């Protein structure tokens, strides 16, 4: 999905709203003053007077209101020739270990260093490569990293608790970006690697205390399109791996990443050694692996 962000003057903004009035739709984001859907594209006007065009026809619609794609933008993958924040999470699909969310601020001046280091989506890098370059990224790139330990995760996620598996990620991404913005960075664009729909994201966002009025883009496979998101995926993966190592040492069992049969077996061993407190300390209990581990123990 293409995303274009523009800053319009008052007259141009009034013209846009008047032109698209017949295509207006409701939007629950408190910082969106006008929203419309036209020819498969979504147009969002923010209180900051920034306008976001999203969808396959984004450039076509934006061009009607003065947007011109520069050569720099065309030559740069996914239009990242601008200061932007990228946010990603790691650990969501792993039974053992915490949930790490990182937001990073990257400018075009950082691109040469990142490409030299071989920055890419963390899924395309070996863990040894991630462990090698993550400390450099942590030092050189402004970022905010949050880790929700399994124990804390189990306190807030689950039936009858504050969060579900989606809303907890909304809370963490929102907080990481908010804290980074509080440091004074000024992105022209904020991108989150999409893990849910915009409608769902904004529904859960209402429950959060901290908010920001910068336009936000949720984009699938963003870690492969934006260096800022790729940086976040690498730092988050390293944070997750460090947490997994720490937990492994504490229980004296090598905790695997993922949620396959190996996780079931190790979970049953931890259950036998420590009981449920052992799993509460190391794993995300609402996963089906918990029941599978209990069944293995009965055999």
264 marked as binding residue = no
Residue 22 half-sphere exposure, CB side, CA atoms within 13 Å?
2
Q: From residue 270, how far is each of 79, 97, 228, 267 by CA, in Å?
A: 48, 14, 38, 5
Confirm if 284 and 291 have CB atoms less than 8 A apart.
no
Distance, CA of 169 to CA of 174 (rounded, Å): 8
Measure the CA angle with vertex 76, ends 71 and 81; round to 5°.
90
Measure the CA angle with vertex 133, ends 130 and 134; round to 5°.
70
CA-based nearest residue to 193, from 220, 225, 215: 220
72 marked as binding residue = no
Distance, CA of 112 to CA of 276 (rounded, Å): 48
Distance, CA of 214 to CA of 262 (rounded, Å): 43
Confirm if 146 and 235 have CB atoms less than 8 A apart.
no
Distance, CA of 127 to CA of 208 (rounded, Å): 33
Q: Which residues carry a binding-site annotation for a divalent metal cation?
A: 88-89, 193
Q: Which residues carry a binding-site annotation?
A: 88-89, 193
């Amino acid at each position: 999905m293409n995303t274009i962000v523009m800053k319009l003057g008052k007259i141009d903004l009034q013209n846009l709203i008047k032109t698209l009035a017949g295509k207006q739709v409701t939007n629950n984001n408190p910082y969106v003053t006008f929203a419309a859907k036209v020819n498969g594209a979504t147009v969002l006007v923010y209180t900051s007077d920034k306008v976001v065009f999203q969808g396959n026809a984004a450039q076509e619609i934006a061009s009607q209101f003065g947007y011109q794609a520069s050569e720099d933008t065309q030559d740069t993958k996914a239009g990242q020739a601008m200061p932007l924040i990228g946010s990603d999470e790691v650990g969501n699909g792993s039974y053992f270990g915490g949930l790490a969310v990182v937001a990073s601020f990257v400018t075009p001046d950082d691109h040469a260093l990142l490409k030299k280091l071989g920055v890419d989506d963390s899924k395309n890098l070996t863990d040894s490569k991630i462990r090698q370059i993550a400390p450099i990224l942590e030092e050189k790139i402004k970022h905010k990293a949050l880790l929700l330990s399994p124990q804390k995760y189990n306190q807030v996620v689950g039936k009858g608790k504050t969060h579900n598996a989606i809303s907890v990620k909304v809370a963490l991404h929102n907080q990481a970006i908010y804290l980074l913005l509080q440091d004074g960075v000024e992105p022209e664009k904020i991108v989150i690697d999409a893990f849910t729909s915009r409608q769902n994201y904004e529904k859960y966002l209402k429950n959060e205390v901290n908010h920001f009025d910068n336009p936000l883009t949720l984009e699938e496979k963003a870690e492969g399109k934006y260096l800022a998101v790729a940086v976040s995926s690498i730092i988050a993966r390293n944070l997750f791996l460090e947490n997994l190592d720490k937990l492994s040492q504490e229980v004296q069992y090598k905790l695997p990443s993922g949620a396959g049969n190996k996780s079931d077996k190790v979970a049953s061993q931890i259950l036998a050694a420590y009981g449920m407190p052992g799993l509460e300390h190391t794993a995300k209990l609402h996963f089906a692996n918990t029941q599978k581990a209990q069944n293995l123990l009965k055999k």
